[in-house]
Structure 1
Amino acid sequence: MKNIIDDEYKNIVKVVQELVDEKFLVPIESSGLNSMADPLYKRYRIVYEENSDTLEENVELMDELNGHLYFKINIDVYKQDLKLYKKHRYYVRLFSDFMKKNSNLLKIQCSINERSFEVFGDEKFLKEDSLAKEMFKAMDLDMNILNFYMAPEPFFFYKSTEKTPQNILIVENKDTFYTVRKLMLEGKQIFDMEFSTVIYGEGKKILRSLEDIYYNDNVSYINNAENNFYYWGDIDKEGIWIYQSLKEAYSSFNFKLLKEAYKKMLELSKIYGIHKNKKSQKVKIDRITELDSETEKAVLDIALKDNYIPQEIISYRRLIEK
């Protein structure tokens, strides 16, 4: 019984000292020390702040951090910032319980959304909630400890032939995809160029969907180093960012802008005008060195002011007129 009491007292000393270190408690020195081997002051003053946690809750959180979580979780950040732990606590405990009781399930890899639901009861938490990255950073753990794979987005394309090398056009928006496909079916060129494949990028989803060429035999011909990839999207920050991100992510491919399309979009904007994005686009873009200086300046001037010209400004009629 004495050993149990001694162990419990040692735990109390540890928690109290941590609360003092974190300035939640201040010892009242005039109260004097108790007579234990590891002495504590007989009285402490609680440091109250506006909307501060109660002492009891802080003690509970410290106790939880000190002995009830999965052993690989680095608790140092949380011990220094209990408010951060409170913010993450629900998901930290779900992760900890899973790792302690069901880590054997990680032997079999599954998709990120499947794993997210299995661990957190929320299929979108790992992939879409910024709290997930923040939490794993605080725990000093790599999210890949959960052994998942990223599921590529569906890959939409039309091909007239698989012969390589060939010209491949990636377009940002659906209507333009169908317009280009219509032209290909009619045996017509696009800006005096012959394209054998058109891919619907679906905005920035193309950054994931293009991965399918590594796994899908039906599109393996696209993964040919001699193919020429052309990109055509909206004139705005996100459209330019998508192209520059594709070039970086798939650096082994020969990526180019469909320059004639951008010049035509600028030309038609003199008729239809330039539009303002409803929301500011937060992505960062670099210079567009593929364009001549005049076209580059015009495009960047539009994008950096959060304005845009939609790809759909070039209709089927505009593409077949000479």
Structure 2
Amino acid sequence: MDQIRKIFTTFKKKTITLLELEHLLNPFFPTYEAFSETILQFEEREILVMVKAKGRTDRSPSLAFQYRINKSLLMRDFHKELQIYRGKLHPSINIDEYYRMDPSIWKKHLPFILKVDQFIKQNSFPTEYVPAPERSYELVGDEKWIIEKGGKEILERIGLFHLLNIIPVSEPLMFAINPKKINARKQYHLIVENKTTYQGLLQILRETKFSTLIYGRGKAIIKSIEQFSIQYPVVAHHDFFYFGDLDKEGIWIWHALNNKQPVRLAMPFYFVCLKKEPAVGKAYQREHGDSMKAFLLKFPLVEQEVIRNMLASGKYWPQETLKTRELQQVWRESDWTSLIYKK
């Protein structure tokens, strides 16, 4: 019956015909009698409500030619179950998101949530950081659960991932430190996409207001940024800036990173790039609508149009457009503090 309830819950339309019912439920019933008996049970519970205008069959037992699926009643039972578990689970486990999801997802995740609940009740929250596989094995008895089997998403959904002191399994973050700024209460960090730009700026790191220069290694930064607080455990207010290739891929990297860790565009570098002649190529890159829109909104209207037209024509601005001396001059002389207060 649970499988049939799931079919009704996930059926896209509000009404369902008898032919559709027979097609969907055929694998569950060897005979018409068994099929019709179950349908009548759902009628009696008012989960299936006859559409009177369509009438009923002449067969015995008689079924309606069309039913309205009472999805609110189906979800009511599910929500009651969630309410019961809210009273049973540890107060730190938040299952509110499941109210908006298909009940089958809850059924699939529940065994793992119960194991996590048991772990917290027996051990409280851990005080030491350990690698994801180790914590995964402690929680559910499977070292691959967090990273490879969806455990991280479940823990984030119930609001526990950051409370379990999990060291993410990602490549180490690569960065250089400015010793002059390591004790500052407010710290700036510049992430650059490519190695050439990193090497060019590294020479003057001590001459800037920045505490670190981070080598993003393309899209690797999207995962490795998770290591920042562990590799750089300095208590301060941290502001991140990003400078990457001004192409569709570079824009997507910034947007994906910004969704994980708020990071401003290093606008002074981009404005200088826009004064240069764009390169030709990378027309093969796919545009990501959301990332392009978010990126362009950071620029004045004139620059938005220039960027949009150039990228549409297959042109782009690599970071290498700026020579080492230009990069260094922009980094030294730009007013980065004022950029913090601009949207």
Using the size of structure 2 for normalisation, the TM-score is: 0.47
Larger Rg: 1
Using the size of structure 1 for normalisation, the TM-score is: 0.49
